[in-house]
């Protein structure tokens, strides 16, 4: 038979073990590292994507062409994203830092239903030939690569749950802006019944940094569609050269030639 002293000792050990486990759990919970507070990155401004003072779109897109365009389409489109790089000496320098593979896939997918856009290609910092990432230098690079249209854009995270994406569309032939565009979104609330709030699916569907790209792509698509509809083909001129003296008659088949013998039917 177990004595009262043994029972009391076991009870005290159980209490001590429970207290140790609770203390350990509390200690682990307390020692969990805190998330670093959100700090804004250097902001891209309109002067980094625009070559001259022109009206900018506060939301959606704004066409900057005086009227109907002639011969603007079909066209290929060059794109690039400008970001601000903070140097060790505190200097803010614009750079083209986007992943060209991602840019190529995203923008070609965005225009795969517009036949007037023949192709979309990105450029990166090395394509500037050692020059600075200014709008004029970027347009010169696009011109060297035979782009007809060019999009220079930037992305800013204005707050932890707020983002914007804006840019300028150019006619590379004359380096003039054709349209300005801007998309602005705020993150959506994740449903309370979501099983895993850290699921990447929820992040793509609710995070402002992901939503703003889709909204900007839709805005640019609508802008391109309107530009295509108001564009007129250029007048075609006859090439100088030989001109037939008389009308060109269509070929006759079978030919009326005595040497031609019709086969048996």
Looking at every residue in the chain, the average pLDDT score rounds to 82
171 has a pLDDT exceeding 60:
yes
- Domains present along the chain, CATH in parentheses: 55-232 (3.40.50)
Question: Which of 214, 178, 197 has its CA nearest to residue 54?
Answer: 178
Residue 13 tokens, joined: 């050990």
Predicted structure pTM score: 0.74
Question: Which of 3, 94, 2 has its CA nearest to residue 50?
Answer: 94
Strands 69-70 and 231-232: parallel
Cis status, amide bond into 254, omega within 30 of 0: yes
Q: Coil, helix or strand for 238?
A: coil
CA distances from 39 to 36, 42, 86, 159 (A): 9, 10, 14, 8
Residue 86 tokens, joined: 């903070």
CB-neighbour burial class of residue 56 (10 A; exposed 0-12, middle 13-18, buried 19+): middle
Bridge partners, 210 (sequence order): none
Task: Give the tens place of pLDDT for each residue, 10-61.
Answer: 555 555 545 554 544 555 444 556 667 778 889 999 999 998 777 788 889 9
Task: Give the tens place of pLDDT for each residue, 84-125.
Answer: 988 877 788 999 988 999 999 999 999 999 999 999 999 999
What torsion do the CA atoms of 124, 130, 132, 135 make, to the nearest 10 degrees? -60
Q: Work out the average pLDDT over 243-261.
A: 64
Residue for token pair 């380096």: 175
């Amino acid at each position: 038979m177990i004595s009262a002293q043994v029972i009391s000792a076991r009870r005290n050990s159980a209490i001590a073990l429970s207290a140790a486990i609770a203390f350990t759990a509390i200690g682990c919970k307390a020692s969990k590292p805190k998330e670093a507070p959100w700090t804004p990155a250097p902001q891209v401004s309109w002067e980094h994507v625009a070559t001259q003072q022109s009206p900018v779109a506060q939301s959606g897109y704004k066409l900057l062409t005086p009227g109907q365009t002639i011969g603007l389409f079909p066209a290929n489109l060059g794109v690039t994203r400008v970001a601000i790089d903070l140097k060790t000496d505190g200097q803010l320098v614009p750079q083209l830092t986007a992943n060209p593979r991602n840019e190529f896939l995203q923008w070609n997918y965005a225009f795969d239903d517009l036949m007037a856009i023949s192709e979309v290609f990105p450029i990166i910092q090395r394509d500037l030939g050692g020059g600075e990432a200014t709008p004029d230098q970027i347009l010169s690079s696009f011109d060297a690569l035979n782009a007809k249209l060019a999009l220079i854009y930037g992305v800013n995270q204005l707050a932890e749950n707020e983002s914007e994406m804006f840019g300028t569309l150019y006619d590379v032939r004359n380096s003039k802006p054709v349209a300005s565009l801007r998309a602005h979104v705020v993150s959506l609330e994740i449903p309370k019944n979501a099983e895993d709030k850290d699921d990447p699916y929820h992040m793509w569907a609710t995070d402002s940094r992901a939503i703003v790209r889709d909204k900007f792509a839709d805005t640019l698509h609508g802008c391109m569609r309107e530009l295509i509809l108001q564009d007129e083909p250029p007048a075609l001129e006859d090439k100088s050269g030989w001109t037939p003296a008389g009308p060109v008659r269509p070929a006759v088949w079978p030919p009326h030639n005595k040497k031609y013998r019709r086969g048996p039917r």
